[in-house]
């Protein structure tokens, strides 16, 4: 069984004059959303074996902040190929990962992650919102085989789900971060 957590980067600040899309930074709300989602993952005991992230600044900041919350001690691979790319390129990157790894986080951008999730599962998601996560399980032994089967979505979460109700355990964790 292989598991991929497709994670869209957190909410960003609006463009500043002269700022490139690649250099956009996280907003205050984006940083708060990372704490919420990170607390949820930690509460559920979800930790990656490897992390692949776009090298755009907003994705890097999202990856670092999320991995800090999860106390991840491994290496984060920042890949230019995960920025403004095709779904096939993302699949190619996933396909060459070490088969001893059972779970990975892939941190990237809309619309590419949304398109990829829709191509790898039977369900349809209109849009993965900022800091949204779609977890897909694949009944395969090798990463290269994820395209030969439809994965099963285990969960799809995003920060707005916690706007009106946040479990006490997550709320308590937020105060400590």
Rounded to whole angstroms, the Cα distance separating 138 from 130 reads: 24
Taking the C-alpha atoms of residue 36 and residue 167, their distance in angstroms, rounded to an integer, is 10
Residue 92 has a pLDDT of 95
Beta-bridge partners for 138: 2
Using CA atoms, how far apart are residues 145 and 76, in angstroms rounded to an integer? 23
Confidence of residue 134 (pLDDT cuts 50, 70, 90): very high
pLDDT tens-digit series, residues 18-68: 678 788 899 999 999 999 999 999 999 999 999 999 999 999 999 999 999
Please check the confidence at residue 175 and state whether its pLDDT lies above 60: no
Quick one: residue 139, left, alpha or beta (phi over 0 = left, psi -120 to 50 = alpha)?
beta
User: d(Cα 169, Cα 160) in Å, to the nearest integer?
Assistant: 17
119 pLDDT exceeds 70? yes
Residues 6 or more apart from 53 whose CB is under 8 A from it? 59, 60, 62, 63, 76, 77, 78, 79, 82, 105, 106, 107, 108
Alpha carbon distances (Å) from 55 to 21, 163, 174: 12, 29, 27
- Which tens digits make up the pLDDT trace of 68-115? 999 999 999 999 999 988 899 999 999 999 999 999 999 999 999 999
* Domains present along the chain, CATH in parentheses: 2-176 (3.40.50.1240)
pLDDT confidence band for 164 (50 / 70 / 90): low
Of 118 and 162, which is predicted with more confidence?
118
Q: Which residue has the tokens 């997550």?
A: 170
Give the predicted TM-score (pTM) of the model: 0.91
- Cα 110 to Cα 9, 129, 132, 134, 170, distances in angstroms: 9, 8, 10, 13, 26
Contact 61/22 with Cβ under 8 angstroms? no
């Amino acid at each position: 069984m292989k598991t991929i957590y497709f994670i869209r980067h957190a909410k960003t600040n609006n463009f500043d004059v002269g700022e490139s899309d690649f250099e956009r930074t996280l907003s205050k709300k984006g940083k708060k959303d990372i704490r919420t989602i990170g607390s949820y993952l930690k509460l559920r005991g979800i930790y990656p074996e490897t992390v692949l992230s776009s090298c755009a600044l907003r994705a890097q900041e999202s990856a670092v902040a999320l991995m800090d919350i999860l106390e991840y001690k491994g290496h984060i691979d920042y890949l230019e190929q995960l920025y403004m790319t095709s779904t096939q390129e993302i699949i190619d990157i996933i396909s060459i990962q070490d088969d001893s790894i059972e779970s990975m986080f892939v941190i990237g951008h809309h619309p590419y992650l949304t398109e990829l999730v829709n191509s790898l599962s039977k369900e349809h998601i209109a849009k993965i919102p900022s800091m949204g996560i779609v977890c897909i399980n694949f009944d395969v032994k090798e990463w290269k085989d994820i395209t030969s089967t439809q994965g099963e979505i285990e969960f799809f979460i995003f920060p707005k789900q916690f706007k009106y109700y946040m479990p006490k355990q997550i709320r308590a964790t937020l105060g400590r971060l």
